[in-house]
Amino acid sequence: MSSTESINVLGLESEALSQLIVQWGGKPFRARQLSQWIHQRGVDNFDQMTDLAKDFRLRLDAHCVVRGPDVILEKRSVDGTRKWLFDMGKGNAIETVFIPEDDRGTLCISSQAGCTVACPFCSTGYQGFSRNLTTAEIIGQLWHARRALRQDPGAARLGAEGDSARVVSNVVMMGMGEPLLNYDQVLGALRLMVDDHAYGLSRRRVTVSTSGVVPMIDRLARDCPVALAVSLHAPNDALRDRLVPLNRKHPLNELLDACNRYLEYAPRDFITFEYIMLDGVNDSDECARELIEVARRVRCKFNLIPFNPFPQSGLKRSPTARIRLFAQRLMDAGQIVTVRKTRGEDIDAACGQLAGEVQDRTRINERLPDRARIVIRKQERG
């Protein structure tokens, strides 16, 4: 059954699930079994959960559902990248992207429909803010992707030791939204990701990316210290105030101190600093020099992100030679630097384009099925 009153157990952490079962007079270990069925085997029909007693299954069926997000459309890139556009109701859509690599498969998931931070280089920022996602909607992206990839023999080959469920080996909260401004719901999803009876990912393989919500960085350190990426993008407050407006509230000094506090709890011994490469904005030698000073204050690695242009931004990607030189300047100072490869460009799955397609009226009608167009028109009105 699927009445609107039903509890969506997809979003319940192990403790909440145990509580529910104990309330019904059941044994807490049933929660583990249920969690394995839902999250590990991807089963959404209680009747198929054969090691649960029949009356328990009937009770679950009467009061609960396992409901993942509705897919509006799915795309595959020639490079193996896959993207899902999910319907979040009331005209909202979010995206999830799967990026296969030789030794891992990374799922990039969203935490909010839109974002309040409004960074001028980010197409999600241009969308404004609609709402926070629930834990069920956040974990539902991983749940759905694993189910879809399990049915895909091409993707299954990537799974460790033939276990296709491991195709998603890493999760990054780098989709739409600022995860630390939706703290409680994101925390619930993170706990499910690292729970051995749910997804069992190691904390090192789950990354939260934040624009710098300092108080929540401290809370995350205590509650569920996963790997942390900080969207730095500028080496000083004057520039960062413009590129990441949240900097006006939590300036660089405060942010760097929070990074150092986080390192005491982090599963990795460094913070990843993301730095978007914007032509003539933050890619000068002077910026590199200042950045080296910043880097001396925190154990970190740099991930330089070539900007993905979109029409409204008026910004340009730094030329490849400039990105290379910028990386070299940092490396010459002893920093560890990677330059992010752009993936899935043919399906607009590349970083920063997550909302772009939903908003782009000019191309949208050629490319999306009817249902998606409805979502987009509603968004335009909203």
Positions in the binding site for ligand SAH (CB under 6 A) = 121-122, 174, 178, 209-211, 231, 274, 276, 305, 307-308, 351-352
E-strand spans in the chain? 7-8, 64-65, 70-76, 82-87, 93-100, 105-108, 112-114, 129-132, 170-173, 206-210, 227-231, 271-277, 300-306, 337-339
Which one of ligand SF4, ligand SAH, none interacts with residue 130, CB within 5 to 8 A by kind?
none
Given the complex with ligand SF4, which of 148 and 180 has the nearer CB atom?
Answer: 180
Q: Could you give the CA distance from residue 213 to residue 262 in angstroms, rounded to a whole number?
A: 12
Chosen residue from 119, 167, 323, 350 binding ligand SF4 by CB under 6 A: 119
Q: Are 49 and 64 in contact (CB under 8 A)?
A: no
Tally helices (H) and strands (E) across the chain: 15, 14
Asked about 64 being catalytic, the answer comes back as no
Which one of ligand SF4, ligand SAH, none interacts with residue 274, CB within 5 to 8 A by kind?
ligand SAH
Tokens 């328990």 sit on residue: 56
Q: Which of 95, 137, 274, 357 is catalytic?
A: 95
Q: Which of 178, 300, 351, 357 is catalytic?
A: 351
CB of 90 to ligand SAH, least distance (A): 22
Q: Could you give the CA distance from residue 178 to residue 156 in angstroms, rounded to a whole number?
A: 31
Q: Are 210 and 179 in contact (CB under 8 A)?
A: yes
Binding mask 178-197 for ligand SF4 (x = CB under 6 A): x-------------------
- Work out whether 122 is an interface residue with ligand SF4 (CB under 6 A): yes
CB of 265 to ligand SAH, least distance (A): 19
In a 3-state reduction of DSSP, which class is residue 84?
A: strand
How far, in Å, are 114, 177, 255 from residue 249 at the CA level? 20, 18, 10
Given the complex with ligand SF4, which of 14 and 132 has the nearer CB atom?
Answer: 132
Chosen residue from 117, 180, 350, 375 binding ligand SF4 by CB under 6 A: 117
Q: Could you give the CA distance from residue 333 to residue 293 in angstroms, rounded to a whole number?
A: 10
Asked about 95 being catalytic, the answer comes back as yes
Which one of ligand SAH, ligand SF4, none interacts with residue 308, CB within 5 to 8 A by kind?
ligand SAH
- Work out whether 359 is an interface residue with ligand SF4 (CB under 6 A): no
Interface with ligand SF4 (CB under 6 A): 115, 117-119, 122, 124-125, 177-178, 211, 231
- What are the residue numbers of the active site? 95, 351
